[in-house]
Amino acid sequence: MNFARLLDAAQTAAGTEPSENIDLMWSTLVTGLVVVFLILVLLVIVLWALGKVMNIKIKPKKSKRPEPEKSVAPPVAPAPAPVPQEEIEEEDDSEIIAVIAAAIAAYGESEGKQYRIASVKRKERSVRSSWSAAGVAENTRPF
């Protein structure tokens, strides 16, 4: 397509010279950019001023109070000897295992099946605390 024909069509459609439209375009572009950057500069100044005001309000004022005299603390009586606590004996794990095995056998009889315990291993404690594990469970729960 011929570029001259395109310009003539645009001229007759708009009723103005193409050079006038280009001048209007540039003035609109420059005006828009100036307005945007002036507003950005204004926002920076406002935020900077708010930061200064908040720092003034937050900083503790130094008072010129006289320092209290340092008094000598009276001697403290020695702490009483700790009361010996009873040692907690660990329960016999074989009794607990026998009770669990009996419960499993009773459950198996009600279903008509025979279950048996293959091995017993002590579970290692979690590295996380209970509160930490609860937090992880809460934060990874599906919506």
pLDDT of 65-75, one tens digit each? Answer: 666 666 666 77
Residue 35 counted as domain residue? yes
> Which of 85, 101, 84 lies closest to 93, judged by CA?
101
Residue 80 counted as domain residue? no
Q: What is the DSSP code (8-state) at residue 132?
A: H
pLDDT at 6 > cutoff 70: no
Last residue within a domain, chosen from 58, 84, 100: 58
Given this model, what pLDDT does residue 46 score?
96
pLDDT at 19 > cutoff 90: no
> Are residue 51 and residue 96 in the same domain, yes or no?
no
| Per-residue pLDDT reduced to its tens digit, 90-131 | 667 788 888 888 888 888 888 888 887 788 787 777 677 889
Q: What's the total number of domains in the chain? A: 2
Decide which of 32 and 64 is more confident: 32
Residue 127 counted as domain residue? no
Residue 106 counted as domain residue? yes
Task: Decide if 108 contacts 114 (C-beta within 8 A).
Answer: yes
For the packed helices 3-14 and 18-58, what is the interaxial angle rounded to 10 degrees? Answer: 70
pLDDT at 1 > cutoff 60: no
Q: What average pLDDT does this structure show over 44-64?
A: 82
Range of the domain at 46: 3-58
Residue 20 counted as domain residue? yes
Residue 74 counted as domain residue? no
Residue 30 counted as domain residue? yes
Residue 12 counted as domain residue? yes
